[in-house]
Amino acid sequence: MKNQWIILLFILFSLPLPAQSVRTQELEKQKKTLLNEIENTNKLLNENKRTINNVLNRLSLVTQQINSRKQLMEILEKEIKNLDEEIQLKELQVNDLKKKLHLKKENYAVSIQKMYKQKNNQEQLLFILSANHITQSFRRMLYLREYANWRKKQASEIIAQQNKITVEKETLEKNKKEKEMLANVRKNEEEQLHREEIVRKSEVAGLQKDRKKLQAIIEKKKKQADVLNRELEKIIAEEIVSAQIIVKSQPNKGKKAEVAAGFAMTKEEQTLSANFANNKGKLPFPLKGNYKIVEHFGIHQYRNLKNVQFNSNGIKIKTTAGNTAKAVFDGTVSRVFVVPGYQTSVIIRHGNYLTLYSSLEQVYVKRGNSVKTGQDIGKIYTDTEDNSTILYFELREGQKKLNPELWLYK
């Protein structure tokens, strides 16, 4: 049993505190990110009215808020656990320091007793001169000098050890107070989570009550999405044909189609396309400021709402009124067009890749313009009925639909 405790102590004292600090810093970073997300979502919820047209977006925001809150609570729990480990380690360290200090004090007391017996310099001189030969006298002199230095060193070490214990105790108390504070924060977050669950139930109950209206809105939404998709595919097909015609009419320009159903590209366009592909997961969001994705790519089954499904070819990003859409990469404006329900849309071509920015009420670019990463494309439309500002964004490789969230930097 004793050996097991020795092994445990060795492991605990072998744990590098900087590594624990790195782990704590990473949790703090995650916590800060989640708190910012929660704050941004709160702003977006407060800015948007509760209407039947906007209720699905509100439900999405509330659900994401709940998920963020749960993640925050998990991080707080991990921080509390880390502090528990640090507190236990500090207590062991303090106890170990106390034992070492006690041993040093005992040794120092013995040395003081010996020193007391040798009261004056005459006795020390007699001790040196009473040696059998000169070599022994010299050794005795060195011994007394080293013994005096050892006593001074022991006294300094005792003071340093006492100071170290004081510092470690202060750190221990600080950790205990921080743990208590985190426990209170977690309790508050738990209470807030409970309130948000009630809000979500209320949102769902409202949707269930207005099921017919909701179904009509979803059907309208699907039709508008289909119109946008058909128009987009028609434009892409036209652009591909146009590129192929250029290849045939100018065979010496070095153009060729990179992929099946893709665009014919110059060497510059091929380089741009390759650079775009290499930035997967690093592309900036198509807007700045507060935002939240309220509709994700693919088929969605709304939680707690049976038979309510919707397939999205892109993502919808809720933001604040007056915000602008921004280009996610260098490229050329391929088309500017209007579709009911999506206001004005802009297509930007990046070699063999296309990005679509829809729901714009003002457009700052026109067909054929070259754009740079982060450049303003247009002002995002705000629905005055429910004060909702949402940008619709798509990403395609040729005619292939891609999930934008896998390409955008998080």
pLDDT tens figures, 32-72: 887 787 787 777 777 666 665 667 777 778 888 888 888 88
Tell me the whole-structure pTM to 2 decimals: 0.64
What backbone phi and psi angles, to 5 degrees, belong to 72? -60, -40
Q: CB-based contacts of 375: which residues, under 8 Å, 6+ apart?
A: 326, 327, 365
Integer-rounded Cα radius of gyration of the chain? 36
3-state class of 141 per DSSP?
Answer: helix
Parts of the chain with a pLDDT under 70: 1-22, 47-54, 104-105, 107-133, 136-158, 161, 207-208, 210-211, 246-261, 301-308
The domains found in the chain, sorted by start residue, are: 2-209 (no CATH), 224-406 (2.70.70.10)
DSSP category for residue 405: G
Between the alpha carbon of residue 354 and those of residues 223, 238, 243, the distances in Å are 23, 14, 14
Cα(339)–Cα(310) distance, integer angstroms = 19
pLDDT at 9: 37
Kindly report the CA angle at 272 between 268 and 273, in degrees rounded to 5?
Answer: 115
Q: In which element (H, E) is residue 355 found?
A: strand 353-363
